[in-house]
Amino acid sequence: MSYGGKLAPKPRSALSNNPSSNSLTIAQLLAAGLHLGHSTSLWNVASMPFVFGTREGISIINLEHTLTHLRRACTVTKAVARQGGIILFIGTREGMDHVTIDAAKSCNAYYVASKWCPGTITNAQEIVGPHTPRLPDARPGDLAKPFRPDLVIVLNPIENMIAIKEATRFNIPTIAITDTDVDPRIVSYPIPANDDSVRGVELVAKVLAEAAKDGNVLAQEASKEKSRARIEGRVDRMKAWSARQ
């Protein structure tokens, strides 16, 4: 696991000018191939509400549902970032690691781009704890606070079911691209879409990262406003004290 703002290697493609969920169109989703599901032989019946129909044995995803659910996921991502929460991107499919890394780097999030280590959440003290910096005021013998994200975004859920189950066990909200071979009920906020298209997955990751960036900006503004109010409060108290002298 790495932190997008510091430890991620140099990305292969920049994430500048990311599309926002509000500006995104169905035409863009279509061009990215997000409507192409799996063969009907691999169809998961739970994905039926999101399937428009079939063509030549391939399930076709209704992109209106994709856009609606992606926007909802962006709202959640922005809210978590605004509260200063930890966002973790997981995308471990071969050939898509740069998508995961780029998304995390662009919004200062964490990422797992190779393989999920079982127990990272459920047994965090043993898996991640030794690598977690200790607090400055920690006493001798105190254990480092284990890593636990506030939101997990999974770009390829089939290969990361363990990560999703660990997050669910600790009531951590999850967002995932759910193709037609995936039960969308396994995550908190499914995004029905093709998870095999590098271009499509990158588009979804960019949009979610942009939402996180927006949340980060709001968090910074709130922090500045809080600091300003605190300073003004101190000045007022000093003035009041001086007036009593």
Position 121, amino acid = I
pLDDT higher than 90, residue 169: yes
Number of domains in the chain: 1
Which tokens in the block code for residue 168? 């669910």
Residue 59 CA to residue 38 CA, distance in Å, equals: 6
Query: What order of strands is seen across the sheet that includes strand 36-39?
Result: 36-39, 58-61, 51-55
| Model pLDDT, residue 7 | 41
Return the residue matching tokens 């859920």: 157
Q: How far apart, in Å, do the first and last CA atoms of the chain sit? A: 58
**35, 177 Cβ separation under 8 angstroms:** no
Query: Hey, which residues does 59 pair with through a beta bridge?
Result: 54
Band of pLDDT at residue 16, cut at 50, 70 and 90: very low
Which tokens in the block code for residue 171? 């009531």
Q: What are phi and psi of 48, to 5 degrees?
A: -55, -40
| Mean pLDDT score of the chain | 84
Q: Judge residue 191's burial from the number of C-beta atoms within 10 Å of its C-beta, 0-12 exposed, 13-18 middle, 19 or more buried.
A: buried
Which structural domain, as residue segments, surrounds residue 168?
Answer: 2-134+143-244
pLDDT higher than 90, residue 141: no
Q: Judge residue 105's burial from the number of C-beta atoms within 10 Å of its C-beta, 0-12 exposed, 13-18 middle, 19 or more buried.
A: buried
pLDDT higher than 90, residue 225: no
CATH number of the domain where residue 174 is located? 3.40.50.10490
Position 112, amino acid = V
Q: Which residues of 79-90 are buried (b: 16+ CB within 10 A; e: fewer)?
A: ebbbeebbbbbb
Band of pLDDT at residue 214, cut at 50, 70 and 90: very high
DSSP per position, 129-182: GGGSPPPTTPPTTPPPPPP--SEEEES-GGGGHHHHHHHHHTT--EEEEE-TTS
Which of the 8 DSSP states describes residue 14? -
Residue 45 CA to residue 209 CA, distance in Å, equals: 30
Lowest model confidence (mean pLDDT) among 33-37, 145-149, 201-205, 233-237: 233-237
| Model pLDDT, residue 18 | 62
| Model pLDDT, residue 19 | 74
Model pTM score = 0.81
